[in-house]
Structure 1
Amino acid sequence: MRFSANLGFLWTDRALPDAIRAAKAAGFDAVECHWPYDTPAAAVRDALQETGLPMLGLNTRRGDVQAGENGLSALPEHESRARNAIDEAIAYAIETGTGAVHVMAGKAAGPRAREAFCKTLGYACRQAGPHGITILIEPLNHYDAPGYFLSTTDQAAALIHELGFENLKLMFDCYHVQIMEGDVTRRLARLLPLVGHIQVASVPDRGAPDHGELNYQFVFHEIDRLGWVKPVGAEYRPAEGEPVGTGWLLRPR
């Protein structure tokens, strides 16, 4: 099994190009990030070419974080801002060779929010499609992201089926799914045709995937058994003083 280092949580004390180099040195097979926009895309591209690591994905901007925004795409009054964030993310992905863009929905609820999200996702898929870029949507749990529009895999699956874009996929984050829904491996098996990326972290502390209420030895075995061949995203927060790498694969529970 191969793993991708999520640089939104790993090596955050380093500039993004140096974090990419650290991921290579630690034995990761790919990288992914959250919001890379403060770093020139050319510097990221150079680090990716130097290390040979692919960048799997990045997020659209959250918006005004100080005002509590956590995404824009399901906010009915902010269609223009949402589209600008998508354009920015796709342009950055094209320049860095990134394979997917996670379109963040934001804090919203109700039919108008759903209509806005569908409309914006359609725009994103049409803009990304000619470049071979996948659009991802991710359900987030209501502890880490209270009020977030998308919170369950069933909700996400319904949107994907309804919109019908081939490049619209589900980001299946085992951490969020376990908190909100449970039944992680059966749910993953059922939804696998819709999945564009898988992420892991321990539950409930979001640490390395070697402890907590999910048995990741079993989860990894099931992911492998299902035939998943892409790198799995290690989106976890390392404990203070913990070496960052894939050593958790070897640690017994």
Structure 2
Amino acid sequence: MKFSANLGFLWADRSLPDAIRAAKAAGFDAVECHFPYGDPAAETRAALEETGLAMLGLNTRRGDVTAGDNGLAALPDRQEEARAAIDEALAYARETKTGAVHVMAGNTKDPCARTTFEVNLAYACEKAAPDGIMILIEPLNPRDAPGYFLNGTALAAEIIHDVDQPNLRLMFDCYHVEIIEGDVIRRLETLLPVIGHIQIASVPDRGIPDHGELDYASVLSRLAELGWERPIGAEYLPAGDPDPDMSWLARFQNKG
């Protein structure tokens, strides 16, 4: 089994290029990030080329975080900003040869949110397709992301079906799905045809994925049986250590 270091959480105290180098030294097979925009894309690309690691994904900007924004693409009154965020993310992805962009929906209960989200996702898919970039959507749990529009895998699957673009896929974060719905292995089996990326962290503390409610040895074993070959995203919170314990990584890498 292969793993990608999510640099939004791991080595987050370092510049993105230095975090990429740390992920390589720790033995990760790839990297991904949240919001890379504070680091020049040319420097990020150079670090990726130096280490030989691929950047699997990055997020669109959340908007005005101080005002409570957590994405823009489902907000009916923010479409211009949402498309600017999509354009920005795709430009960074192109320059760094990043494989996917997670388009963040945002916090809203507006009755037009779903239509707005689907229209903006269609826009993102069209702009991303010429460069082979995947567009991802991710359900977030209400404990960590209260009010987030995309709050379940069934809704995500319906939206993917409605938008009907080959480069639109589900980001299946086992941590979020376990909190929202549970039954993670069965949902992986069912949703596998529309999944573009999988992430892991322990539940409920979002720590190292070697403890808690989810038995990742079983989850990863089943994914291997299902033929999943792409790196799994390690999107977990380290325990405050600038050089986090990575002993779990070698154990899990040897499982598939």
Q: How does 1:99-118 map to 2 (within 5 A)?
A: 99-118=99-118
The offset of 1:31, in angstroms, is: 0.2
Contact 2:75 2:110 in 1 (8 A): no
Return the letter of the residue paired with 2:171: M
Which runs of 5 or more residues in structure 1 are unaligned?
A: none
Across the aligned residues of Structure 1 and Structure 2, the Cα RMSD in angstroms comes to 1.1
The offset of 1:245, in angstroms, is: 5.6
Aligned-partner Cα distance in 1 for 2:166–2:174? 23
Local SS of the residue matching 1:127 = helix
The offset of 1:223, in angstroms, is: 1.1
Return the letter of the residue paired with 1:144: D
Aligned-partner Cα distance in 1 for 2:66–2:149? 19
**Percent identical across equivalent pairs?**
66
The offset of 1:242, in angstroms, is: 7.8
Q: TM-score, normalised to structure 1's length?
A: 0.97
Structure 2 partner of 1:207: 207
Contact 2:11 2:242 in 1 (8 A): no
Return the letter of the residue paired with 1:194: V
Does 2:14 align with 1:14?
yes
Structure 1 partner of 2:146: 146
Q: How does 1:95-244 map to 2 (within 5 A)?
A: 95-241=95-241, 243-244=243-244
Does 2:50 align with 1:50?
yes
The offset of 1:191, in angstroms, is: 0.3
The offset of 1:244, in angstroms, is: 2.8
Structure 2 partner of 1:92: 92
Aligned residue-pair number: 251
Structure 2 partner of 1:81: 81
Aligned-partner Cα distance in 2 for 1:6–1:246? 13
The offset of 1:110, in angstroms, is: 4.0
Contact 1:28 1:245 in 2 (8 A): no
Which runs of 5 or more residues in structure 2 are unaligned?
A: none
Instruction: Report runs of 4+ in structure 1 exceeding 4 Å deviation.
Output: none
Higher mean Cα deviation, 197-206 or 102-111? 102-111
Contact 1:26 1:245 in 2 (8 A): no
Q: TM-score, normalised to structure 2's length?
A: 0.96
Aligned-partner Cα distance in 1 for 2:214–2:242? 20
Return the letter of the residue paired with 1:215: D
Return the letter of the residue paired with 2:202: S
Higher mean Cα deviation, 102-111 or 242-251? 242-251
Aligned-partner Cα distance in 2 for 1:91–1:243? 31
Alignment deviations for residues 29-80 of structure 1 (CA, whole Å, 9 cap, x no partner)? 0000000001000000000000000000000000000000000000000100
Aligned-partner Cα distance in 2 for 1:58–1:6? 9
Aligned-partner Cα distance in 1 for 2:99–2:130? 12
Aligned-partner Cα distance in 1 for 2:159–2:110? 14
The offset of 1:243, in angstroms, is: 4.4
Aligned-partner Cα distance in 2 for 1:151–1:123? 22
Aligned-partner Cα distance in 2 for 1:112–1:104? 16
Return the letter of the residue paired with 2:117: F
The offset of 1:112, in angstroms, is: 0.5
Contact 2:103 2:136 in 1 (8 A): yes
Aligned-partner Cα distance in 2 for 1:123–1:245? 41
Aligned-partner Cα distance in 1 for 2:181–2:213? 13
Aligned-partner Cα distance in 1 for 2:29–2:109? 38
